[in-house]
Amino acid sequence: MISRITELNHIGIALSAEKDSRSILRKILTGAMSLTHADGGSIYTVTEEQLLKFEIVTTESLNISLGFEDGQSVKFPPLALYINGQPNTSMVVTCAVLEDKTINISDAYDVDGYDFSGTKSFDRSTGYRTKSMLTVPMKNHQGNIIGVLQLINAIDQQSGEIGVFTPEDQQLAESLASQAAVTLTTTKLIKQQKELFEAFIELIATSIDEKSPYTGGHCRRVPELTMMLAEACNAKLSGPLKSFKMTSKDRYELKIAGWLHDCGKVTTPEYIVDKATKLEAIFDRVEMIQTRAEVLKRDSRINFLEQKLLLIENNSDENIDLEMQVTLLEEKHLELLEEIDNDLLCIRQCNIGSEFMDEALKQKIINISKKSWLNQDHETVAFLSENEVYNLLVERGTLTHEEREVINHHIVMTNKMLESLPFPDHLKNVPEYAGGHHERMDGKGYPNGLMGFEMSVPARLMAIADIFEALTASDRPYKDGKKISECLQILGRMKLDNHIDPDIFDVFVREKVYLSYAEQFLPASQIDDVDHASIPGYREQS
């Protein structure tokens, strides 16, 4: 008995260390059979529908094992605890649950009160003889029955014959069933908490994406690309990244960091995130400038008609130059209209964000701003306000320096939010991974200005994933998604500028991670041929 109690303790320790529910079920059943010398057994679980579901079944003498492997299910139909609203106590396992008691039967063929037709049918088809039976409800620490442990045919260790389950067998089985129920409940609770945690994280990411039609999908795509690149780096057996290896824990931690990398954007105002043009505020102010242009055209026409009328009124019969003077006035008027249209066309062109704005275009905006118009208060004012000029002269994208600072502040908020959370040990690096994707190898990034050697590999590879996703994204307010060849050219120049990790970038290109991502997430129109030799700074593996 002492050795059996010791074995029970060993089984309990093994159960407490196990995380996989299928492995737990397997250890419970095989452990119980070993303790009681049972030839077979099964475990059922109670479902929300008040059914007993077969989880795992085995009979050693028949060499039967069902449900032992992951993904393998027992095909037997579940047993109803209630039939037409009435307790189903006709079967041993359902009765054990409904009456909350252990049922110890010496011989299933010599007992009244239970339906053993299924058992006898099984025996006839296999030649087996079911005799002794021990059925134990599995009750957790809250007093809830979550399943049933059933053991079949106790084998006498001296004679090898089928015997009965002794009171000691029953006591050991009940003790193990209790431990097992607690372990299964704890494992289920941990799984549910993990699922809730992940669902909540994805909910935050989705809400950020849905906050603006121009960032839809970014928070979902970056984790995917990050993991693709991480796996490519993990597979390297030589070179600078050969020491980078990921465990399942590392993968999960990086995945969570990827989902949370932009969580600080919940604080970023929509009017900045959604700024599709340089002059956009609540609405695109270029339409106000269009109205001013129409006022200038109107005033020009009024001036032309007034001068024409004055010429006609002052004309004498002998003045043969009238027609010529009117023509000159009209030509001047039409030239002014054309100038206004050209100015408006230049403004509309500059209002669209781009990657570069040349000096000639800047000078045109400055020249236009010096012109004037007569406003509704009959005041002569500049055709463009200082704020409009400031916005139109933005060189890259649509955001001013101040607006870009607001956008950049999201990473400060990301760090602040994540560092305030009590992450468990297996997720302790999430804040560093998620908060470092805007840092640069040369220390010119933000928010902390870290140098490359101060950043972890996961943070550095997430930076590349974030940039590539942004370049290829077709849902930005000021640009269409770029072709992958152009994106790699830009990333190559960033490598030469010591912006991104050079070794990770080389893996990104060499292993064609960009192509795997593109084929999954980008339209065919963006997937073009890539000549690796033409990518700035890229080097083939030596």
pLDDT by position in tens, the chain (length 542): 777 777 777 777 777 777 778 888 888 888 889 999 999 999 999 999 999 999 999 999 999 989 887 767 788 899 999 999 999 999 999 999 999 999 999 999 999 989 999 899 999 999 999 999 999 999 988 888 999 999 999 999 889 999 999 999 999 999 888 888 888 888 888 888 989 999 988 888 888 777 766 565 788 899 999 999 999 999 998 889 999 999 999 999 999 999 998 888 888 887 787 787 888 887 889 999 999 999 999 999 999 999 988 888 877 655 557 788 888 989 999 999 999 999 999 999 999 887 788 899 999 999 999 999 988 888 999 999 999 999 999 988 888 989 888 888 888 888 899 999 899 999 999 999 998 899 999 999 988 899 999 999 999 999 999 999 989 987 555 567 889 999 999 999 999 999 999 999 999 999 999 999 999 999 999 999 999 999 999 988 75
Residue 422's Cβ-count burial label (10 Å; 0-12, 13-18, 19+) is: exposed
Residue listed under structure tokens 């994208």? 397
Whether residue 357 sits in one domain with residue 319: yes
At CA 210, angle to CA 207 and CA 216, rounded to 5? Answer: 120
Whether residue 452 sits in one domain with residue 364: no
Strand partners, 508: none
Residue where one domain finishes, among candidates 348, 375, 398: 398
The amino acid present at 400, given as its one-letter code, is T
Count: domains in the chain:
3
Tell me the two tokens of residue 281.
């505020």
Say if CB 230 and CB 254 are below 8 A apart.
Answer: yes
At CA 294, angle to CA 289 and CA 296, rounded to 5? Answer: 95
Whether residue 333 sits in one domain with residue 262: no
The residue segments making up the domain with residue 447 are: 212-274+402-534
Hey, how many other C-beta atoms are within 10 angstroms of the C-beta on 273? 20
Whether residue 167 sits in one domain with residue 65: yes
Give the pLDDT score at 215: 61
User: Does the residue 204 lie in any domain?
Assistant: no
User: Does the residue 197 lie in any domain?
Assistant: no
Closest to 103 in 3D by CA, of 185, 173, 189: 173
Give the pLDDT score at 384: 94
| Helix 457-472 × helix 502-510 angle, to 10° | 60
Hey, how many other C-beta atoms are within 10 angstroms of the C-beta on 517? 21
Residue where one domain finishes, among candidates 368, 398, 428: 398
Whether residue 388 sits in one domain with residue 433: no
Give the pLDDT score at 475: 57
Question: If DSSP codes are grouped into helix, strand and coil, which group holds residue 416?
Answer: helix
Residue spans of alpha helices (H) in 64-116: 92-98
Whether residue 467 sits in one domain with residue 371: no
Give the pLDDT score at 206: 81
User: Does the residue 368 lie in any domain?
Assistant: yes
Cα 477 to chain centroid, rounded: 22
Is the peptide bond between 431 and the residue preceding it cis, with omega within 30 degrees of 0?
Answer: no
Residue where one domain finishes, among candidates 344, 372, 398: 398
Q: How far apart are CA 130 and CA 152, in angstroms?
A: 7
Give the pLDDT score at 191: 87
Whether residue 439 sits in one domain with residue 332: no
User: Does the residue 279 lie in any domain?
Assistant: no
Say if CB 355 and CB 344 are below 8 A apart.
Answer: no
User: Does the residue 205 lie in any domain?
Assistant: no
User: Does the residue 199 lie in any domain?
Assistant: no
